Amino acid sequence: QVQLLESGGGLVQAGESLTLSCAVSGSIFRVYTMGWYRQPRRGTGIARESVALITPSGTTSIKDSVKERFTISRDNDGNTVVLQMTTLKPEDTGVYYCNANIQLQNRTVVDSWGQGTHVTVSS
């Protein structure tokens, strides 16, 4: 019924930038909060964590450790969310997942996830 299509991951060196994009499609009535989560590298003992969220009105919530380097935005139709990441660090490495809280055409509300996109930052 709903798909979240992510793009933009890759391998970069420390200090470089990447932009992740996620587009929602399907039987959508309304898209509420959207955001990005990340699963750090294995062995860190860190579970999937919230990186940045944005509401339909544009209010954002960004993880403290990336606040000065990452920016989240949505396009005008509200169905695409973009995470701009600058001055990347090795600790930013992980799988980044797009998340969206969506009301379907049948008015059911679902919490949907993308398939994940890999970001690797080498030192």
- CB 118 within 8 Å of CB 6: no
The residue ranges of the chain whose pLDDT is under 70 are 42-43
Give the model's pLDDT for residue 47: 81
Nearest to 31 by CA among 76, 67, 97, 61: 76
Give the model's pLDDT for residue 45: 74
Calpha distance 12→121 (Å, rounded): 5
